[in-house]
Amino acid sequence: MGLSDIHNYIRPGMRAHLVGIGGVSMCALAEVLHQYGMVITGSDMRDSGAVAHLREVGIPVSIGHRPENAAGADLLIRTAAAHDDNPEIQAARAMGIPVFERASAWGSIMRSYKNAICIAGTHGKTTTTSMVTHIFMEAGLDPTVMIGGTLPLLGAGHRVGKGDSIILESCEYCNSFLRFFPTVAVILNVEEDHLDFFQDLQDIQHSFGAFANLVPKEGHVLVNADNPGAMGAVSSLSRPFTTFGCSEEAFVHCQNLTWDGGLPAFDIICGGSFYARAELNVLGAHNVSNALAAAAVAYALHVPGDAAARGLSGFHGTDRRFQRKGVFNGALIYDDYAHHPSELHVLLEAAKQLGCSRIICAFQPHTYTRTKALFEDFVRELQVPDIALLAEIYAAREQNTIGISSRDLAERIPGARYFATLPELAACLRDIARPGDLILTVGAGDIYKVGDALLSGENQETAS
């Protein structure tokens, strides 16, 4: 069934079963549909905080995937990680229950909003989506939101508002964002990633170009002028687009940029005129770019500049994005979701601004295909910290048919050490941590547990 068909099912009283309901986007989708008046059930492979939360709000969740879980549903919605051999998907098809992708459900939801703001890019999606959310909340616009991380302002990664805007982090993997209906499309950057699905950079750029072309003529396409990949993606776009970036050639750009303790402040200029003064509370030059993207959205939708200024200033980061976790043996512990070499680069540049005596990077690569495809780039970036500790690759959705290991990375990085398990890595950090160190736990898997293990031990100090 096509996109137009799912729209007939997204209405009060319909029963939807969600396969993989514990995932970030699926959990948010379940709660949004539940609040819309649909009857929601779900299943996941394991219990989690997200599963517990869904049960608290009245959504039953089964642990394990069994055919009987799909019985009685009007439709089944699956995460991208659930394949055709999943017993619930097979049972639904045998019973004539239509099966839809998660992205199709989000696409159906956003069709009922005047403003559907879709923020895409290889990096920076969560942060920029969060910044836009802060601005819209400051402006009193009561948006509906879906973010791929927890935003302290919301106490979650999503909210259901009564305003006419929906703000969504929009992922390119498996061309998910091509199922959306954006009225505002933001392209932050386009680089090689997800090469288990895309062929090469040109293929990725083609996908982002198609995403931009989804925007109606009265909508807005906003593109990072500083990123060659993003500009290449819209080089043959048949409709006009607006640029943002640090260069003065961009329609939305910054002037009078200053730094205080690694925190940037700057004027936002839109079309040659002053729009707002941004004083950020997140580190790094990459966040200047993210803030300009968020400001470009606000300006395009006529949000007052003072609301943009307050929203950007009030943003202090999201979970797992250069997040300070605490202090262990005098060493600062920060956690970050970076899992691409470019993300590692900007993270380590920001980390240098803290002025610590040593940077210790405990990195867990994410997926075998990404590690192989970007191997040399990972080797280059992981030579930047003073000490690199490598956890084994986090498999995510993959099987190791390539025969690659983090040990291969460690062998190429001077002084690096490889650990087969997270407890072994945590034990090493307990031994070497000293006052003045910055310990970074980095990766999109479960590497954050290492920092948590240190901080739950006997030597924990309260973070100041």
Which residues lie closer than 8 Å to 151 by C-beta, 6 or more apart?
A: 130, 133, 145, 157, 318, 319
pLDDT band at 157 (very low <50, low <70, confident <90, very high): confident
> Is it the case that residue 459 has pLDDT exceeding 80?
no
Give the N- to C-terminal CA distance of the chain in Å, as an integer: 54
Query: Are 121 and 250 in the same domain?
Result: yes
Measured at the CA of 37, the angle between CA 52 and CA 184, to 5 degrees, comes to 90
Residue where a domain terminates, one of 76, 101, 126:
101
Query: Are 327 and 429 in the same domain?
Result: yes
Is there a domain that residue 107 lies in? no
Which CATH number covers residue 146? 3.40.1190.10
Query: Are 137 and 226 in the same domain?
Result: yes
pLDDT band at 269 (very low <50, low <70, confident <90, very high): very high
Query: Are 279 and 358 in the same domain?
Result: no
208: left (phi over 0), alpha (psi -120 to 50) or beta: alpha
> Is it the case that residue 256 has pLDDT exceeding 80?
yes
Is there a domain that residue 370 lies in? yes
State the Cα–Cα distance between residues 347 and 342, nearest whole angstrom: 9
Is there a domain that residue 108 lies in? no
Note the pLDDT of residue 319: 81
pLDDT band at 461 (very low <50, low <70, confident <90, very high): very low
Structure tokens at 373: 């495809």
Query: Are 131 and 97 in the same domain?
Result: no
List C-alpha distances in Å: 154 to 150, 151, 319, 320, 394: 8, 6, 12, 15, 29
List C-alpha distances in Å: 250 to 88, 231, 244, 247, 284: 49, 12, 5, 6, 20
Note the pLDDT of residue 322: 87
Is there a domain that residue 318 lies in? no
Which residues lie closer than 8 Å to 250 by C-beta, 6 or more apart?
A: 225, 226, 243, 244, 292
**Active-site annotation holder among 126, 128, 242, 369:** 126
Is there a domain that residue 237 lies in? yes
Query: Are 263 and 401 in the same domain?
Result: no
Catalytic-residue membership of 449: no
Measured at the CA of 386, the angle between CA 384 and CA 390, to 5 degrees, comes to 80
Which residues lie closer than 8 Å to 54 by C-beta, 6 or more apart?
A: 21, 22, 27, 30, 31, 42, 61
Catalytic-residue membership of 372: no
Note the pLDDT of residue 307: 98
> Is it the case that residue 117 has pLDDT exceeding 80?
yes
| Dihedral sign for Cα atoms in the order 194, 343, 222, 33 | positive
What is the Cα Rg of the chain in Å? Answer: 22
Query: Are 121 and 198 in the same domain?
Result: yes
pLDDT band at 238 (very low <50, low <70, confident <90, very high): confident
User: Which segment, 99-103, 138-142, 283-287, is predicted with the most confidence on average?
Assistant: 138-142
Query: Are 266 and 152 in the same domain?
Result: yes
Query: Are 166 and 45 in the same domain?
Result: no
Task: Look up the domain containing 335 and give its range.
Answer: 323-461
* 446 CB neighbour count, 10 Å cutoff: 13
Q: Which of 319, 310, 321, 316 is nearest to 136 (CA)?
A: 310
Comparing 119-133, 416-430, 450-464, the range with the smallest average pLDDT is 450-464
Which CATH number covers residue 427? 3.90.190.20
Residue where a domain terminates, one of 101, 132, 166:
101
Which CATH number covers residue 43? 3.40.50.720
How high is the mean pLDDT of the chain? Answer: 93
> Is it the case that residue 463 has pLDDT exceeding 80?
no
Note the pLDDT of residue 458: 38
Note the pLDDT of residue 2: 45
**Active-site annotation holder among 101, 138, 169, 392:** 169
> Is it the case that residue 353 has pLDDT exceeding 60?
yes
Note the pLDDT of residue 317: 86
- Residue scoring higher pLDDT (173 or 138): 138
Note the pLDDT of residue 460: 39
Mean pLDDT in residue range 306-313:
98
Query: Are 296 and 368 in the same domain?
Result: no
- Whole-structure pTM value: 0.83
Query: Are 304 and 362 in the same domain?
Result: no
Catalytic-residue membership of 125: yes
CA 150 to the chain's CA centroid:
10
Is there a domain that residue 427 lies in? yes
Mean pLDDT in residue range 48-71:
94
Mean pLDDT in residue range 319-326:
88
Is there a domain that residue 369 lies in? yes
State residue 187 phi and psi, 5-degree precision.
-115, 105
Tens digit of each residue's pLDDT (9 = 90 or more) over 396-444: 878 999 999 999 999 999 999 999 999 999 999 999 999 999 999 999 9
Note the pLDDT of residue 313: 97
In total, how many domains does the chain have?
Answer: 3
Note the pLDDT of residue 80: 78
Identify whether the C-beta of residue 285 lies closer than 8 Å to the C-beta of residue 264: yes
Residue where a domain terminates, one of 256, 289, 313:
313
Is there a domain that residue 448 lies in? yes
State the Cα–Cα distance between residues 204 and 192, nearest whole angstrom: 7
CA 87 to the chain's CA centroid:
29
Note the pLDDT of residue 159: 87
Which residues lie closer than 8 Å to 272 by C-beta, 6 or more apart?
A: none
Query: Are 370 and 388 in the same domain?
Result: yes
